[in-house]
Structure 1
């Protein structure tokens, strides 16, 4: 597997990542097999979003991590937030922080390696977003942002 260093980070991510959008309807055993296969192939990058499967994709992935917490150290986990069904977008500080806390609970982990704004809104308050990012980083809940 080829790996790339993400600019200005300590992360070396696999050239191929595992997108987790469509795992909501899979069993814990099936997701565990997917994760094991990905890791065996050298894939260390796992992409999530709070809206994937209405949070269920993160939940089923998290059940694997709860069962086998040693896997977390082999992964770079990215999640996204900001899309709110029926509302469109919410990039307020409160929403971002609550979304990350929900993601951490569902994934059974204490931090995200990467957090992205999901389809950023050019009209959002960038100072509020920065404040949320700074808070999450200081709390050790998110290491890098985009």
Structure 2
């Protein structure tokens, strides 16, 4: 996966320049920083600078500019999510992941419970008798 700042292409697509952006930030972001960001010559981005850049772009374009408009994300097409026995991706939360593995049909049970409006399901109904002490 690769994440790239696409400020230069955003500026060009909207008829703006790095110089005009710098002027609109009113000194909140240094000229050298804006030009480096536009060239893509950065490894880290200061969140405060990003905030001022988004505000300046929003003023220049007379519309809210969203963070995702300034970035390009290239996902690894060969990366596969590791799925639990329930068929859902692992969450990284041990309790949830253990539950997904221990009860492979848990998602089906929740879907069935949602369809039966107003009916309360006990732990035994969802997980089976004796599943919890």
TM-score (norm 2): 0.23
Higher helix share goes to which structure? 2
Higher strand share goes to which structure? 1
Larger Rg: 2
TM-score (norm 1): 0.21
